[in-house]
Amino acid sequence: MKKKHYLTEEGLEKIKAELDRLKKERKKRTKGDIPDVLHSEDLNQEYLDFRQQIELLEKRISKLEEVVKNAKVIKIPKNQEKVQLGAKVTVEANGKEDEFVIVGSLEADPSNGRISNMSPVGKALMGSEKGSEVEVSSPGKTVYKIKNIQY
């Protein structure tokens, strides 16, 4: 069973628009824009670059189609004082300020500031309110003081 992609409404619209743009691009490229194939494909760099671009385009299109098909829109919660999926959270950890967005696992990328709701920190923060302190203890103890929640 395919996992659901939790996306904000805005995020899903953005993906749909990108998908639309890529499909138009594919149509344009494969309609009459194909470089001439000379005697040997191996010698024709222009043709190879074209093929490479088309393949990458196809890949991206199929990924986006899969995302749209399995998307579940995250509704902005009524109570915006609590951390839920889609929240941009500002915390203080070890005396330093940090910021991240809580997302579903398939969109998670901590180095890009997106933390999964299934990670130990994501789990601990979910449902917490602004001003509260959340402790994540394993092996060392880290206290996350929630300074701000934005949707």
Partner 1 sequence: MKNILNFLVEAEKLKEIPRKGWVLRGVKNPESIASHTFRTTIMAWLLEGKRSNFKESEKVIKTSLIHDLCEIYAGDTTPYDSLILEEGDNKKREIMKTWPRLSLEEKQRNFKKKRKKERESLKELISDLPSDLRIKILNFWMDYEEKTNEESDFFSQIDRIESLVQAHEYWEKDPSFPINSWWEWANEFFYDPISLDLMEVLKIKFHNKKSDKKTEEVLNLLNFFISLSVLKTKKLERANKEEVIAEYNYSLALLVWILSYGVEDLDTGKALKISLLNKVEEVLDSSEEEVNNCFDSLPRKIKKELKSIRKEKEEMKTKESKFVKKVIDILNTFQKEREDKEEFTETLEKMNEISKNNK
* Other Cβ atoms within 10 Å of 43 Cβ, number: 10
Residue 108 found at the interface with partner 1 (CB under 8 A): yes
* Residue placing its CB nearer to partner 1 in the complex, 3 or 28: 3
* Residue placing its CB nearer to partner 1 in the complex, 12 or 134: 134
- What minimum distance in Å lies between the beta carbon of 73 and partner 1? 20
What sign does the CA torsion over 75, 79, 81, 84 have? negative
Q: How many CA atoms lie within 13 A of 5 on its CB side?
A: 17
**Within the chain, where are the H helices?**
9-32, 45-69, 120-125
Contact 5, 71 (CB under 8 A): yes
* Residue placing its CB nearer to partner 1 in the complex, 107 or 132: 107
Residue 99 found at the interface with partner 1 (CB under 8 A): yes
Instruction: Using CB under 8 A, pick the residue from 83, 115, 134, 146 that binds partner 1.
Output: 115
> Could you give phi then psi for residue 103, rounded to 5 degrees?
-130, 175
Positions that interact with partner 1 (CB under 8 A): 3, 41-42, 48, 51-52, 55-56, 59, 63, 88, 93-94, 96-101, 105-106, 108-113, 115-116, 118-122, 136, 138-140, 142
